[in-house]
Amino acid sequence: MTFLIPGTGGTAELFSDYRFPFPFRAVDFPAPRSLKMSMKDYAEQFVEHHGILPGDTLVGMSLGGMLACEIAKAMEIRQLVLISSGTRSEHLNPLLRRLGFLGPRMPFALLQSLPTPPVSRFRRRLFGMFRQVDPSFLNWACTVAPQWEGMEHHPGLIQIHGDRDPVFPFAYQQDRIHYRLHRAAHLALLECQTEVNQILCRLLDEGGRRTTRSSDTREAPSRTRVEKSGA
């Protein structure tokens, strides 16, 4: 099974327009059992909550990619795909890292209760997803991400990244990026949906068909310039 994990302020709806010829499931973030949980502790909760098994594939955006890395440190993950993410907290924008101490103090519940501002349809969609995320998760995520120790290596790691991403600046890991999305910012998952969907299909379809377990009864619906790096 391929699990699609959104970013901090997003939900499974981020992947609602994606279509793949293999079993996949877009998932949401459960509320953390404690705001003092480490990334490792939350990864264990996340795996239990969604029934992730050894041999599964993880695709994570932003913090979802960091979480996917943490899961891959603890169990066998066949393929690990990061979109607009990083393998260490040092890949985050330094300003966001310095502001991590504000995470527990941010009034996310209040912000979610505010009326939708008169913005574009695209931004209204983002605000609608933001409202659905548990505010305690947002407080936790903004606190733990800048402190995360990261992951050194994974044999199935692939990174897809926009070269204008202000959250995980492209320059911080440009030698590690496998697929560069030109002129794409942090929300490349939505901005370059066609390109990213095509990349994921090429990356995951063949391997997914090769390793599908006959006993896996979990069901899910199957439902553009890109530069491939030589790295």
CA distances for 226 relative to 20, 112, 173, 180, 197, angstroms: 19, 35, 17, 6, 12
Q: How far apart are CA 89 and CA 191, in angstroms?
A: 24
Q: How far apart are CA 34 and CA 55, in angstroms?
A: 28
Over residues 186-203, the pLDDT tens digits come to 999 999 999 999 999 999
pLDDT, residue 193, reads 95
Q: Is the pLDDT of residue 228 over 80?
A: no
Percent of the chain with pLDDT over 90: 85
pLDDT, residue 119, reads 87
**Token match 């998760």: residue?**
137
Query: Domain 2-228 classified CATH 3.40.190.10?
Result: no
**Token match 């030589």: residue?**
230
pLDDT, residue 223, reads 34
Residue that wins the pLDDT comparison between 120 and 213: 120
Percent of the chain with pLDDT over 70: 89
Q: Is residue 206 very low, low, confident or very high in pLDDT (cuts 50, 70, 90)?
A: low
Ramachandran assignment for 191, one of left (phi > 0), alpha (psi -120 to 50 degrees), beta (any other): alpha
Residue that wins the pLDDT comparison between 225 and 1: 1
CA distances for 112 relative to 143, 158, 229, angstroms: 18, 33, 39
Q: How far apart are CA 184 and CA 84, in angstroms?
A: 10
- Residue 127 sits at φ, ψ, to 5 deg, of -65, -35
Q: Where are the domains of the chain?
A: 2-228
Token pair of 57 as six digits: 């594939």
